[in-house]
Amino acid sequence: MILFIYLTATHGILSKKQTMLRNSYLILSLVIFISTVKGQYFTKINTGPLVNSPGDSRSVNWVDVNNDGWVDCFISNGPTGGQNNSLFINDTHGNFTAVINDPIVLDNKPSDGASFADLDNDGDLDAFVVNWYGVNKLMYINHGNGSFTQIDTGVIVNDGGYSETAAWGDYDKDGFVDLYITNSAGDRKNYLYHNNGNSSFTKIITGSMVTDALSSRSVNWTDIDNDGDPDLFVSNENNQNENIYRNDGMGLFTKLNTGPLLTNLGNTMSSSWADIDNDGDLDVFLANDQGFNSLFMNNGSFNFTKLVNDTLVKTPSRSFSSAWSDIDNDGDLDLFVTNAFGTAKKQLNFLYINDGAGHFTRNSSDIVARDSSWSYGCAFGDYDNDGFEDLAVATCRYGGIDYPDFLYHNNGNSNHWITIQLSGTYSNRSGIGTKIRVKAVINGAHVWQMREISAQTSYCGQNDMRVHFGLGIATLIDSIQIEWPRGMIEFYKDIPADQFLHYSEKIVNTTNNSGLNNLEFNVFPNPGSKSISLSLSNDYFHESDQVLICDIHGKVLIRITPIHTRILSIELTKYKLHTGTYFIKLNRNGMEMIRKFILEN
């Protein structure tokens, strides 16, 4: 039996309508279980407009466009002569209704990737869709109810290009999401636009991330080195190496070019980042067309180990997209990979099940691995709010024929789960870039899992932005830790499983003039080794302040009471800390500011 409750930060329950639907979902789950083959993770859905609207489909985005607590599905379409994109509204009964009169589905352009985020911080998800063949991009502002207005002025929508996909991310942590766009033809230079905070954008024209000319496909804003700011990862095809642009703060980036991840060559279409071994950092899967896929394990400080003996990297592929999800809710992330083109024969997709230690077994019997087509983008999202993530796959035109897209319902099991939605206040409203860590006892061990909220989880794919964790048999979560992009860290304890939670970023009290309002708390150098210095803009440290150095899970390791000084220096060598990531907290009069610090050798 499955029980689900939707909670807000004040732990309010679901609406009466959602509560009344609970029993109907129990019946639906029972019917699906009886009607499916034993051991099948998914059931294919064959009814409804989402799977009966053939198109030359590219991107899949699970996004709640009308703020009703149920994810809707956007699918882009992109043949040479153009085709309208599609938006399917979740009717909360497990079905979808196609939008027919809104500008977002009346474009008739050759579209590829799409990315949704709250670009104006007004509480709803706006849309950005890229086009190929030199056609200008598409930006749509959400009115809050799932209807959109197209924006056709400004450099961000009048730049042409041969664009593959796009991703929103707040690279300068000013509270507004910026946009990066990849191009694979034309002059092949990618685009970066800075959000000015008033729904206008400035095009960035300097730096290697916009002057490199490569055949770029996928892009991710992701904190590779765990230092608290989003780095930029770009995958490239045509036997070109991938790119990492390290975020150095203040809008500055450094291009890295050493190590196995950046010297791998290949025809890389998709990049998907996730903590697959539950060690607290983000690893990356690369999907390749006409070769073998790759998996790189993050060792910290931009160092990676390439996996060479796992089944996941030994299957010849024509892969285009990928998506991570804990499909069986056992406490580790599994992987789905799409395949397309190459021959006149339709291609099978790949499903890999994680054993909990970062090793994978290919499952060829599930329906998602037995359906064949020319599959492109894919994404996971829990469209019926039962605590198990479902899957949608876009299929491309081949031989002049448009094929229907795929929708698979997750059959579920007895394992437990938690799903968390965030709303930024000081940080960007969508919470993009936030890390959520959850600790629970799984298989007799205390396990920390980590997710990072992203507006682009793969090439032409955006997973449900509500962060989902499988918990195995655990019915109680020991700890939830939320690391917001602008430095605030929140902790919650003893949370029952099988809930939808909604947390809003806490607003710092600004009425206490003796507190920390309007001050910048700085840590330098960062990364550092033997010593660090702390400073407050336009203020001194007080004898009543308290400085705490904590590990990545919030455990206090060092307590320091400062003297009255403008610069507080801390000698780290005497504390015998190991290299890694730490949090430095400044407490004053009940208020707290937190900064992340990287300790190097």
Q: What are phi and psi of 115, to 5 degrees?
A: -145, 130
**519 CB burial (10 A radius; 0-12, 13-18, 19+):** middle
**In the prediction, which pLDDT does 516 show?**
62
| Mean pLDDT confidence for 246-272 | 95
Strands lying side by side in the sheet with 243-249: 216-222, 231-236, 243-249, 252-256
Q: What's the whole-number mean pLDDT along residues 45-67?
A: 97
pLDDT greater than 60 at residue 34: no
Instruction: Encode pLDDT of 280-304 as tens digits.
Output: 999 999 999 989 999 999 999 999 9
Residue type for position 399: G
- Residue range 334-392, pLDDT digits in tens: 999 999 987 788 999 999 999 988 799 999 999 999 999 999 999 999 999 999 999 99
**Residues 176 and 170 sit within 8 Å (Cβ to Cβ):** yes
Q: Which residue has the higher pLDDT, 514 or 397?
A: 397
Average confidence (pLDDT) over 64-71: 97
- Where b means 16+ CB within 10 Å and e means fewer, 230-253 reads bbbbbbbbeebebbbbbbeeeeeb
Asked if pLDDT for residue 36 goes beyond 70, the answer is no
Residue 537: pLDDT above 90?
A: no
* pLDDT at residue 23 tops 60: no
Q: What are 282's two structure tokens?
A: 């983000």
Selection from 319, 303, 402 nearest residue 56 by Cα: 402
Q: State residue 281's pLDDT score.
A: 95
**Window from 161-175, 261-275, 530-544 with minimum mean pLDDT:** 530-544
For the whole prediction, is pTM greater than 0.75?
Answer: yes
Q: What pLDDT is recorded for position 541?
A: 87
> How long a stretch of residues is the chain?
601
Taking 70 as the threshold, does the pLDDT of residue 325 lie above it? yes
User: In this model, does residue 506 exceed pLDDT 90?
Assistant: no
Nearest to 132 by CA among 76, 68, 92: 76
Among 1-5, 223-227, 433-437, the least confident range: 1-5
Q: What is the mean pLDDT of residues 465-481?
A: 97
| The pLDDT of residue 59 | 98
pLDDT > 90 fraction of the chain, expressed in percent and rounded: 73
Q: Which pLDDT score, from 0 to 100, does residue 517 have?
A: 61
Q: CA–CA separation, 86 vs 104, rounded Å?
A: 8
The mean of the pLDDT values for the chain is 90
Instruction: Say what the pLDDT of residue 254 is.
Output: 97
Strand order in the sheet with 191-195: 163-169, 178-183, 191-195, 201-203
Is 50 exceeded by the pLDDT of residue 32? no
Q: Please compute the mean of the pLDDT values over residues 50-77 and round it to a whole number.
A: 98
- Is residue 308 predicted with pLDDT exceeding 50? yes
Biggest distance spanned by C-alpha atoms of the chain? 75
Alpha-carbon span 204 to 565, nearest angstrom = 39
Q: What is the pLDDT of residue 515?
A: 60
Residue 151 in contact with residue 139, Cβ under 8 Å?
Answer: yes
